[in-house]
Structure 1
Amino acid sequence: MPSQLTAPFNPPLLFKNPHFQTIYPTFARQHQPFIKWQRLELNDGDFVELALNGALTAEPLPIVIMLPGLEGSLESHYIKRLLGKISQLNTLAIVLHHRGCGQSPNRLWRSYHSNDQMGLIALVNMLKAQYPQRPLFAVGYSMGANLLANYLSAHSEITKAALISPPFDLALSAQMMNDGVRRIYRRYLLESLKQRLINKIDVFANAPLSLADVKAVRSIAQFDELYTAPGCGFADANDYYQKASCINKLATIQTPTWLLRAVDDPVIDPLPEDFQAKLSPHVYTQITPYGGHVGFCDSLLAKRSWLDKMLIQWFALEARKGENKNVIKTNKNAV
């Protein structure tokens, strides 16, 4: 295990509750850095939106690519919090929004899915072509971590990566969200997904689905069967889950990668028994007893986060002493 990853996660008693870990950070007040928005066109006629905390230059300094989870965005607590800290270090970061999750709905009838790599491939190719001397770091959260793991299994352009709370078995994760208190998370995510699809139906005159079809959906698996799978070229939801789950891709990752998961994660599937056998030697795993789903908080103070501290250490980010003058300073008055 690299020395940057040896710090244990020992939260106070209150933070040992997985639901508190998962939910509390969403209510914490965060400073919003100034952001520049940019569209990135894709080969299929669609686009994704990038949120940058500065201007791209040829300086040989690292760029951090951030991939949110399902229905996540610049407003997600884990994105906003780390982005603010990266900005204070004068380091450039780019939030890669999934199709339709930025400022504007995407053009096509289809949306994004858990292995929709087209945006990430386009972004990395653009950065490597225009700024070949700049190291690229990438951190993916939840579904974004699953997507990033799939990408890393076949590409080596990224210098260093982090996978935070990645689901391994998408079918099992979807099924488990129908159980007990997990339905809280299902309801939150499903309402957002359904509303996004309803908005599409209002725009597309020949939409193949009706409002009644969408309103009848009661689970993530039903949503994926109705819309995600057929819209993105899969035979059905099971075909989608099988092809998009990252568990069988971890063995071929060649990029130094930190993988962090909590045993008490209340959102995603539990660790499989043969998990360690499926790992590449380049993947450094840290499994903590506590942490919830993309939580890993150890203080009620929003600015303090064990997760952010570890990510900054893993990527060896340091204050640049104004070297990258194109990074936009944090807006201290923003919420």
Structure 2
Amino acid sequence: MEWMLTPLDILSVVPRWYVGACFGTVFFIYYLRDAVKLPTIACAPGKFRQFLEDNVPILKEKFWPTLWCFESRAQTVLASLLRSQLLPEILYRREILRLSDGGQVALDWLEDGCAPKSPIVIILPGLTGASQADYVKTLVRAANKLGLRVVVFNNRGLGGISLKTPRTYCAANCEDLSAVIHHVQTLNPNVPLAATGISMGGLILGNYLAAEELAARKKFAAAMVISVPWNVFKGSESIEKPFLNLMLNRHLCEGLCKLIEGAEELGIDVPWDMNEIRKSRTIREFDANFTVKQFGFKDVFDYYSQATLHNKLHKIAVPLLCLNAADDPFQPLDAIPVEAANNSKNIAMVITARGGHIGFLEGIMPAYQTETQYMSRLFSQYFSAVFREETGFFNLLDKAD
């Protein structure tokens, strides 16, 4: 009778260290081939692209995502957990801006160690984020180290302030951002201004830049967006996929519902049905039950059509640096407008192979590098170069096509 060895029999006689070494080697080869890559840069040849190539050295380096945590959802969650636990709260100077309809937003300033006429960067957090959000603190601290003044624009009802009216915010409406920009410029005439939007904050900023077109060029020297869901339709489909994506979706939806409940608890005369809104289990359902009714859209399709940004890049005249990960669970790679960026002299799309959604963790021990991760390094190098006189960036703007 012929004796056949099974894989388990073979493994039982092979030293464990050898098996571990084989698996480790295969895993490391996979990591090097699939995860460690130079970022893709989509931007038409011209002065802006040349400026980036000359002054932002990180774009010539491979992105090395954390070896033991480079899956997209793992990057997304772990990056948030690490930054939340390790970065202390920032002591801002708070300013309450009253809006024309009776609403209010909180503007949180950090100006420690900055000159009175230092450039200002406006930061727009994501869907339910505010000035103490982990990713916001990372960028605020990076800007402060550069000597830049920072103001974080907290949307209505966020950042510890209460709603004064039934109105909140949405990705397709830029009225509140316009009021904030006007206010900041009125207080700081002749001071260079820049902006950074993260996730939905990037959608709001991008839609503002597209709507203002050349007029925005007179207000902003430069801008940056991070992990923007360019195509809102495809982004919604992606974040609704089970299991892990859907969990992230539902977590954000719960945050939106709590925001609305806060208004009801304050006794504001609200025109919505809270019981219907509580049934929302995804962001799309929340938008159908609340956002489209509040802002007067026909339906979710109408709202997402106006909010989406991938088809508006040709309208943006402000130099715009964009950072996305190819594995972002909020935005699949085929939804990132690479071709449009390749045809634009004002927009540079930087796409890393890995990084998740606002993750971009690097190094074996990312806990010791929370303030020097890829996202903040790119932010720092970009705005340092923009506001460094010897780069000639403002001459580039004056002479741009």
The counterpart of 2:360, out of the listed 280, 285, 296, is 296
**Is 1:173–2:227 an aligned residue pair?**
no
Q: In the alignment, what sits opposite 1:310?
A: 378
Task: Say if 1:294 and 1:228 are closer, same or farther in 2 by CA, change over 3 A.
Answer: same
Whose helix fraction is larger, Structure 1's or Structure 2's? 2
Q: In the alignment, what sits opposite 2:396?
A: none
CA displacement at 1:318 relative to structure 2: 10
Q: Secondary structure at the match of 1:221?
A: helix
**Is 1:16–2:74 an aligned residue pair?**
no
Conserved 8 A contact 2:172-2:303:
no
Q: In the alignment, what sits opposite 1:326?
A: none
1:39-118 pair list within 5 angstroms: 39-54=96-111, 59-118=116-175
Conserved 8 A contact 1:163-1:260:
yes
CA displacement at 1:171 relative to structure 2: 2.6
Q: Which runs of 5+ in 1 are unaligned?
A: 321-335
Q: Aligned partners of 1:205 and 1:104: how far apart in 2?
A: 14
Task: Say if 1:77 and 1:185 are closer, same or farther in 2 by CA, change over 3 A.
Answer: same
**CA RMSD after TM alignment:** 2.4
CA displacement at 1:107 relative to structure 2: 1.4
**Identity across the alignment (%):** 28
Q: Aligned partners of 1:90 and 1:274: how far apart in 2?
A: 33
Q: Aligned partners of 1:134 and 1:274: how far apart in 2?
A: 32
Letter in 1 for 2:382: W
Conserved 8 A contact 2:222-2:320:
yes
Higher relative contact order (CA 8 A, sep 6+): 1
Q: TM-score, normalised by structure 2?
A: 0.74
| Number of aligned residue pairs | 320
Letter in 1 for 2:296: G
Q: In the alignment, what sits opposite 2:24?
A: none
Conserved 8 A contact 1:139-1:162:
yes
Q: Aligned partners of 1:265 and 1:273: how far apart in 2?
A: 10
Conserved 8 A contact 1:201-1:210:
no
Task: Say if 1:111 and 1:318 are closer, same or farther in 2 by CA, change over 3 A.
Answer: closer
Q: Aligned partners of 1:286 and 1:252: how far apart in 2?
A: 19
Partner deviation per Cα, 1:123-151 (whole Å, 9 max, x = no partner): 22223233232111111100011111111
**Is 1:208–2:271 an aligned residue pair?**
yes
CA displacement at 1:20 relative to structure 2: 1.9
Conserved 8 A contact 2:107-2:154:
yes
Task: Say if 1:319 and 1:164 are closer, same or farther in 2 by CA, change over 3 A.
Answer: closer
Q: Which one is further off, 124-133 or 154-163?
A: 124-133
Q: Which one is further off, 183-192 or 129-138?
A: 129-138
Q: Aligned partners of 1:37 and 1:53: how far apart in 2?
A: 9
Task: Say if 1:20 and 1:274 are closer, same or farther in 2 by CA, change over 3 A.
Answer: closer
Task: Say if 1:259 and 1:273 are closer, same or farther in 2 by CA, change over 3 A.
Answer: closer
Q: Aligned partners of 1:266 and 1:177: how far apart in 2?
A: 6
The counterpart of 2:225, out of the listed 155, 163, 166, is 163
Q: Secondary structure at the match of 1:14?
A: coil
Task: Say if 1:8 and 1:119 are closer, same or farther in 2 by CA, change over 3 A.
Answer: farther
The counterpart of 1:27, out of the listed 57, 65, 81, is 81
Q: Which runs of 5+ in 2 are unaligned?
A: 1-48, 389-401
Q: In the alignment, what sits opposite 1:252?
A: 315
Q: In the alignment, what sits opposite 2:247?
A: 184
Conserved 8 A contact 1:114-1:244:
yes
Q: Which one is further off, 128-137 or 35-44?
A: 128-137
Q: Aligned partners of 1:115 and 1:171: how far apart in 2?
A: 13
